[in-house]
Amino acid sequence: MDFIGAYAPSHLTFLLEGFWLTLQVAFLAIVFSFAIAIVVGVLRYANIPGVSQALATVVELIRNLPLLLIIFFTYFALPEVGIKLDKFYAAVLALVIFEAAMLSEIVRSGLKSVEKGQIEAARSSGLTYVQTLWHIILPQALRRMVPPIVSQFISLLKDTSLAVVIALPELMNHAQIINGRNVNYVIPTFLLVAVMYFVVNYALSIVSKRLENKHA
Amino acid sequence: MKTKNVWKKIAGMGLVLMLSATALAGCGGAKSEGGTASTGAGAAAGTGTLAKIKERDKFVVGVKYDLNLFGLKDPASGNVEGFDIDIAKAIAKKVLGDENKIELKEVTSKTRIPMLKNGEIDAIIATMTITEDRKKEVDFSDVYFLAGQSLLVKKDSPINGLKDLQKGMKVLTAKGSTSAKNIRASAPDVEVLEFENYAEAFTALKAGQGDALTTDNALLYGMAKQDPNYRVTEETFTEEPYGIAINKGDAEFVKAVNDLLKEMKENGEYDKIYEKWIGEKPKK
Amino acid sequence: MIDFSILFDHWDMYLEGFWNTVQASLLALVGSFVLGTLFAIFRISPIRPLNWIGTAYVEFVRNIPLILVVFLFFVGLPAMGILLAPFVAGTLGLTVYTAAFIAETIRAGILAVPKGQMEAARSSGLTYGQAMRYIILPQAIKVVIPPMGNQFINLVKNSSVLGVIAGLDLMYFGDLISADTFVTFDVYIFVAIFYLILTLPLSMLVSYWERRLAGSR
């Protein structure tokens, strides 16, 4: 095992470049999937005839497929029906689709967990359904959902590594390029990469615990 | 009410996040290599690649990043170098007048055709063998390199050729390559494992996950050069003519490339590139 | 619209991949359950060093990507002298990774069992181990079945990573068929259907079980 060779400054910079792309992909995916998840979660909770059912079916299908497959789809298969995306946007789209489906379930169960008493009190004070949703239900639901949501974000960050199969130049991809030079770099490089993911994700989970305690 | 303020805060944060996300997407998309938005309008028909290249003032070409001698990315310098890259540069010089007006994108045997078809790249110069099957999907230039499939084995391996491959042995290669198809046909008893690219396959070989790696001998020589613990078996059991792949129906571009290749072979430029990477003059 | 001939021409490849996916998922399920239970017990054990080992394992593994764990088993271990075939390396990687999540689930399940139970068990003369085995764990397990069901679904989905190390699973054969036919959309639609055959029923089972549990409270 060659730690010195593996950790040459140029290699470290190369890994950081890959990590930066990882973070960019993750950030975009988190923001958009969260936004979509709230919309979908609310629409399903509101039990709008037709719409809620259709969304439920779509969500169930996506949630039960491997993310790797969805990445392949957005990058290789969509072009066959006319939608052409490059690696970066294919990866982001795949992540957004998958994570939005997962998050929408968390949002939905969070909404359902708000006590009926609250809703009744709000409605009888004259608030419309939408106002109740916006001011009473959603805020409480979101607060309760902080841990599972952050947990899903952590998953998202890790899942960016799957884009290595479409040669997106993110962290895992750069690690493999370094490994390819010398088989003795494999373990040192992978260990460093593991630490990089760990540091960011562990920090996220600590933020989650703090947020949870603050609003308990 | 307390909830109202918290909610306003969350909404505000969300708005800021959204705005910064779109801002990031803008520069992140342009900066990162794989991030340029698709320029593939009309690429499916393939008409006018030459015009597109001239308009963009850049030749976007798909090359390998993991093959020593043909297309190898150096993590230290960040540069991608190899035979294929030099050919690509020559094309850029011919069409745009400057060999540096070039953008390289990583392809693997698996991703190259989809990337060409969806317009992400103008051409594939990535150790791609011309086959009848592939001709149905893309158009090829004339042959720009002639290789033959062979085996890469450990220095002290008892394997010296196809005949030494026995049942129970594992041969590694890359998904989507002609090497994969050929080895299954030539050595049906052997277990063939396919990986995302040759770098992965070679790492797997070095880890002992296979008895041999198979692909074109030119590529194998590059790998053996990187790691002297491995050698290339002498006999080649197929002929692998490399061609530059271009979207179907773009006869103009194909002709331009073929003219250039002919020119290079006649004025010695081709020989120079060949000698630079392969270390000997091309056999006539 | 969709070219079914691709499915029929490559039926045996799809089937082999499907079967290997099932095997990997089942093996990893059993393995990670055992390993996860072990680490869960470590985490709540009164023995300090065990606590530390359990926490370190769970916290570290949960925060790194699965594909990294699998690569470590596939090309990392050989560097230390242990060579594993792709399917084995992949399944072991899946097991070790999933165990970290199951450990947390089971720990939550154990903690959900009222403290009084353990005290009552001990004061009736049972050792810590016996109390765990006969009183606490059975109750914990009932609570954890829905989350475990979800973990199994995750396992089936995650097993797709085997395709990256030539693990002969459904994704791997999908890749081969796609390379062979130059088609992607149809090939992967069939792959998707095969996965759904596994995950959709499981998903419905988990929902059913969740509703039953909610009802029995």
Q: Report DSSP letters for C33-85, one per residue.
A: HHHHHHHHHHHH-S-HHHHHHHHHHHHHHHTS-HHHHHHIIIIIHHHTT----
For helices B217-226 and B198-206, angle between their N-to-C axes, nearest 10 degrees: 50
C4 sits in which H/E element: helix C4-9
Summarize the confidence of residues A122-142 as an average pLDDT.
79
Q: CB–CB of A194/A15 below 8 Å?
A: no
Model pLDDT, residue A198: 96
- Answer yes or no: do B53 and B140 share one domain: yes
Contact C66 A158 (CB under 8 A): yes
pTM of the model: 0.82
Q: How far is B262 from chain A (nearest CA, A)?
A: 33
Say which amino acid occupies A136: I
Q: Which carries the bigger pLDDT value, residue C94 or residue B5? A: C94
Summarize the confidence of residues B34-58 as an average pLDDT.
62
Model pLDDT, residue C79: 80
pLDDT at B3 over 60: no
Which of B26, B48, B49 minimizes the C-alpha distance to B36? B26
Domains and CATH numbers, chain A: 3-214 (1.10.3720.10)
**Angstrom distances, CA of residue C209 to CA of C36, C112, C142:** 21, 18, 10
Contact C161 A159 (CB under 8 A): no
* Cα–Cα distance measured from residue C105 to residue C90, given in angstroms and rounded to the nearest whole number: 23
Q: Which residues of B touch A119 (CB under 8 A)?
A: none
- Answer yes or no: do B78 and B199 share one domain: no
Mean pLDDT of chain C: 88
- Answer yes or no: do B153 and B173 share one domain: yes
* Cα–Cα distance measured from residue A205 to residue B174, given in angstroms and rounded to the nearest whole number: 38
Q: Domain of B128: which CATH number?
A: 3.40.190.10
Cβ burial, residue C46 (10 Å; 0-12/13-18/19+): exposed
Q: CB–CB of C198/C149 below 8 Å?
A: no
What DSSP designation does B128 have?
A: P
- Answer yes or no: do B141 and B156 share one domain: no
Q: Which residues of C touch B137 (CB under 8 A)?
A: 182
Comparing CB atoms, the residue among C63, C75, C185 nearest residue A202 is C63
Q: So what's the ipTM on this one?
A: 0.88
Summarize the confidence of residues B180-201 as an average pLDDT.
90
Which of A27, B203, B106, A72 minimizes the C-alpha distance to C166? B203
Cβ burial, residue A145 (10 Å; 0-12/13-18/19+): buried
Least confident piece of the model among A30-44, C29-43, C88-102, C122-136: C122-136
Q: Which residues pair with B152 in a beta bridge?
A: B213, B232
Q: CB–CB of B108/A167 below 8 Å?
A: yes
Instruction: Band the pLDDT of B36: cuts 50, 70, 90.
Output: very low
Residue B152 is encoded by which pair of tokens? 């890469």
Which of B66, B74, B68 minimizes the C-alpha distance to B197? B66
Which candidate in A184, A186, A195, A208 is best for mutational testing of the C interface (most C CBs within 10 A)?
A: A186
Which of C158, C160, C149 minimizes the C-alpha distance to C203? C149
Is B63 in a helix, a strand, or coil?
A: strand
pLDDT at C177 over 70: yes
pLDDT tens digit sequence for A63-73 = 999 999 999 88
Which candidate in B133, B138, B194 is best for mutational testing of the C interface (most C CBs within 10 A)?
A: B194
- Answer yes or no: do B246 and B135 share one domain: yes
Is C192 in a helix, a strand, or coil?
A: helix
Model pLDDT, residue B14: 52
pLDDT at A92 over 90: yes
- Answer yes or no: do B55 and B167 share one domain: no
Number of neighbours of residue C23 by Cβ within 10 angstroms: 15
* CATH fit for domain C4-216, picks 3.40.50.1000, 1.10.1660.10, 3.40.50.300, 1.10.3720.10: 1.10.3720.10
* Cα–Cα distance measured from residue B156 to residue C215, given in angstroms and rounded to the nearest whole number: 68
Longest CA–CA separation in chain A, Å: 71
Model pLDDT, residue C123: 85
- Answer yes or no: do B178 and B219 share one domain: yes
B224 located within any domain: yes
| Residue found under tokens 């499939």 | B149
B196 located within any domain: yes
Is the CB of residue B101 less than 8 Å away from at least one CB of chain C?
no
Residue A21 is encoded by which pair of tokens? 């792309």
* Cα–Cα distance measured from residue C122 to residue C145, given in angstroms and rounded to the nearest whole number: 26
- Answer yes or no: do B252 and B141 share one domain: yes
pLDDT tens digit sequence for A28-56 = 999 999 999 999 988 888 888 888 888 99
| Residue found under tokens 């011309």 | B130
Owning domain of residue B141: 49-145+242-278
Q: CB–CB of C19/C203 below 8 Å?
A: no
Model pLDDT, residue B45: 43
Alpha helices in chain B (DSSP H): 2-31, 49-56, 83-96, 112-117, 132-135, 178-186, 198-206, 217-226, 251-267, 269-278
Which candidate in B106, B117, B154 is best for mutational testing of the A interface (most A CBs within 10 A)?
A: B106
Is the CB of residue A39 less than 8 Å away from at least one CB of chain B?
no
Contact B207 C182 (CB under 8 A): no
Spatial strand order in the sheet of B149-154 = B191-195, B170-174, B212-216, B149-154, B230-232
Contact C200 A193 (CB under 8 A): no
Q: CB–CB of C177/C9 below 8 Å?
A: no
CA angle C58–C64–C69, rounded 5-degree value: 90
Q: Considering only alpha carbons, which residue of chain A is nearest residue C186?
A: A77
Domains held by chain B: number: 2
Which of C63, C36, C20 minimizes the C-alpha distance to C161? C20
Longest CA–CA separation in chain C, Å: 70
Residue A147 is encoded by which pair of tokens? 């841990």
* Cα–Cα distance measured from residue A169 to residue A174, given in angstroms and rounded to the nearest whole number: 6
pLDDT tens digit sequence for A138-185 = 888 878 888 888 888 999 999 999 998 888 999 999 998 888 888 888
pLDDT at C100 over 50: yes
pLDDT tens digit sequence for C38-69 = 998 898 888 889 899 999 999 999 999 999 99
Mean pLDDT of chain B: 82
- Answer yes or no: do B53 and B130 share one domain: yes
- Answer yes or no: do B186 and B213 share one domain: yes
Radius of gyration of chain A from its Cα atoms, rounded to whole angstroms = 21
